[in-house]
Amino acid sequence: AGSVEGDDDDGADAGDDDDSADAGDDDDSADAGDDDDSAHSGDDDDSDTLVTVDYVFSYWTDYQSQILQCNQTVRVTGHAEFSALGGLVDGCNNCTGHIELDSASIVDVSDPATDADACDPAVLTAAASDFGQAMLTVAPDGYGDFLTMGLIDVTALGTLGLDLAAAGGYTADDMIATWTEYDLEFTHAGYVESNEGTLSADSGLDTVAGNAGGNSNWYGYWQLFKNPADNTHTGVDLDGAYGGQAVWVIQFTSQ
């Protein structure tokens, strides 16, 4: 497995496609994929691939004004499988890929000593505001939303006519056009499962996101992309370095 060199700034991409969440006045943003999944394997049909994902969670002092508090980088490993025929994921028959991560492999690699924008893991823990751990730990200790990802490759997404957002604007053609503006290539849509205990379920993701078709409880969340100058791989699977961008902004408010 390798590590991805993607976009490290949640606020830099078009359309405010950031995932931010506020816990105690500071927003957290999760970009599964600013340094996202690196996957390698030979066969792009029914392949099983080792992956390393660096999730970057950005905590904001003021998200609307884009005043950053710090970035948390959490590294986690797992495996992925792919099949052009779909049927890999329970509840997501249209998914042509599936990433399953191991919560026991989580390592916070944020280093404020070498990066002025990096979060101090000890500070997040002391403040009980470690959003990265929460999204990569299952209930009752966390939400666990980001431990799994259902994937639909760009070709299948276009053929199925799916949109990541219920209100529209995130079809295959839309995302191809968006990422082309940055000289990047949209490759896959990523979906999270909305089950009891997940943040997706608790926050009502199903009211704003498009699902993976039919009665699927997997909802659109991620846009995966690559730099075609560095990664020439094509196909249903992932091979090499990819980046990712969340579609949704999640903000916790004080009760």
Other Cβ atoms less than 10 A from the Cβ of 125: the count is 12
DSSP 241: E
CA–CA separation, 208 vs 204, rounded Å?
8
Phi, psi of 15 (to 5 degrees): 80, 15
Phi, psi of 180 (to 5 degrees): -60, -30
Q: Annotate 170-191 with DSSP letters as a single string.
A: -SHHHHHHHHHTTT-EEEEEEE
pLDDT tens, 177-195? Answer: 999 999 999 999 999 999 9
Q: What is the largest CA-CA distance in the chain?
A: 50
Per-residue pLDDT at 250: 76
Per-residue pLDDT at 48: 77
pLDDT tens sequence for the chain (255 residues)? 223 333 333 333 333 334 443 333 334 444 444 433 333 333 444 457 899 999 999 998 888 899 999 999 999 999 999 999 998 899 999 999 999 999 999 999 999 999 999 999 999 999 989 999 999 999 888 999 999 999 999 999 999 999 999 999 999 999 999 999 999 999 999 999 999 999 999 999 999 999 999 999 999 999 999 999 999 999 999 999 999 999 997 777 655
CB-based contact 223:190 (threshold 8 Å): yes
54: tokens are 């660096």
Q: How far is residue 85 from each of residues 40, 45, 95, measured CA to CA in Å?
A: 20, 8, 9
CA–CA separation, 36 vs 134, rounded Å?
18
CA angle 3, 139, 124 (to 5 degrees): 60
Give residue limits of the domains in the chain.
14-246
Per-residue pLDDT at 31: 45
CA–CA separation, 56 vs 95, rounded Å?
24
Tokens 């359309």 appear where? 15
